[in-house]
Amino acid sequence: MRHPEKVFDRRFTGTGGGLEYTMYSRKTDGSPAVQLGTGRFGTISPDGQWAITVGFKAPLQLFLVPLGVGETRSLTNDAINHYEAHWMPDGEHFIFVGQEPGHAVCMYMQSLEDATPRVVSSEACAPRAVSADGQLVLAECVGAAKWKLLRVVDGQLSDPKGVQPGDNVLAWTNDRRLWIINSSLNSARILRLDPQTGLREPWKEVPLDSFSGIHTSVITPDGTTFVHSDWANFGSLRRVYGLR
């Protein structure tokens, strides 16, 4: 069985990252990147003021890092190894995947002010994106069914309808559909999927200026901006304009 950190730790490296990696914030206008500090994952709060990062000393803890003026502070201080965290839309709670010593991997919910997390799912899954209304979490799971939907109110997991082999699910749209990407060596096909009905709607095909294929990619909920790196130059990011 693979170690949970190897399953859920999707770390991305680049020049200047260092042994413990370094987090940066960068606007899409081409201005210089701003160094935030050491850590990984760096999910940004809904108000754009903070990032949650994962540290490197065991047990792995979460930190709250300001994107502007301010000081980094510990968000957790317990025996749980924290592998990845995502903000809830209210900006006051976050969901993360972690593992207590001697226990299985779980998904937890916690508030910024309360240091006591609660288990929301005991399945071996990691949160990847939270819907705009905060009711559903897209989760990536270990096993045959890679993608699951977590209902926050009761922790129930279900299979999103319409997901096909080879689909990479990126994020939620503003209207509770999912952004899907299928990429080849010279193009990326972006679709919108209704996970309740399975309806797939082809949206855009983005030509790539590299024949190595996409390494990582993100898209905004409204679909106005798509940013990706490719395998040949995954230290560089490319922004695609004119999607809407």
Q: Give the pLDDT confidence score for residue 232 in this predicted structure.
A: 60
Asked if the model's pLDDT at residue 129 lies above 80, the reply is yes
* Edge-to-edge strand list for the sheet holding 118-121: 81-87, 93-99, 105-111, 118-121
- Give backbone dihedrals phi and psi of 187, rounded to 5 degrees, phi first: -160, 160
User: Which tokens in the block code for residue 115?
Assistant: 């240091």
**SS3 of residue 5 by DSSP:** helix
Torsion sign over Cα 39, 45, 49, 50:
negative
Burial of 105 per CB tally in 10 Å (0-12, 13-18, 19+): buried
Q: Phi and psi (nearest 5°) for 238?
A: -125, 130
Contacts of 200 (CB under 8 A, 6+ apart): 162, 180, 191, 192, 193
Return the pLDDT at 208: 73
Other residues' Cβ atoms within 10 Å of the Cβ of residue 235:
12
Q: What is the predicted pLDDT for the residue at 1? A: 28
pLDDT at 30: 77
Say yes or no to pLDDT of 235 above 70. no
Q: What is the mean pLDDT of the chain?
A: 83
Please tell me what DSSP assigns to residue 29: T
**Which pLDDT value is given to residue 212?**
57
**pLDDT given at position 238:** 55
Compute the distance between CA of residue 221 and CA of residue 116 in angstroms, rounded to an integer.
Answer: 31
For 6-22, the pLDDT digits (tens) are 333 333 334 445 566 88
pLDDT tens-digit readout, 203-214:
988 877 655 567
Interval 79-102: pLDDT, tens: 999 999 999 999 999 999 999 999
Instruction: Say yes or no to pLDDT of 40 above 80.
Output: yes
Tokens of 31: 């201005």
pLDDT score of 9: 36
d(CA 189, CA 191): 7
Q: The tokens of 79 are what?
A: 């025996």
Report the residue count for the chain: 244
pLDDT the model gives residue 35:
85
Question: What is the reported pLDDT for 163?
Answer: 92
Render pLDDT for 51-68 as a digit per residue (tens, 0 to 9): 999 999 999 999 999 988
CA pair distance 54, 76, nearest whole angstrom: 10
Predicted local distance difference test score (pLDDT) of residue 29? 79
pLDDT at 243: 54
Cα distances (Å, whole numbers) of residue 131 to 5, 13, 47, 49: 25, 28, 16, 20
Residue bearing the bigger pLDDT, 3 or 30: 30
Which two three-digit tokens encode residue 68?
A: 């502007």
Judge whether residue 4 has pLDDT over 70: no
CA distance 96 to 75: 12
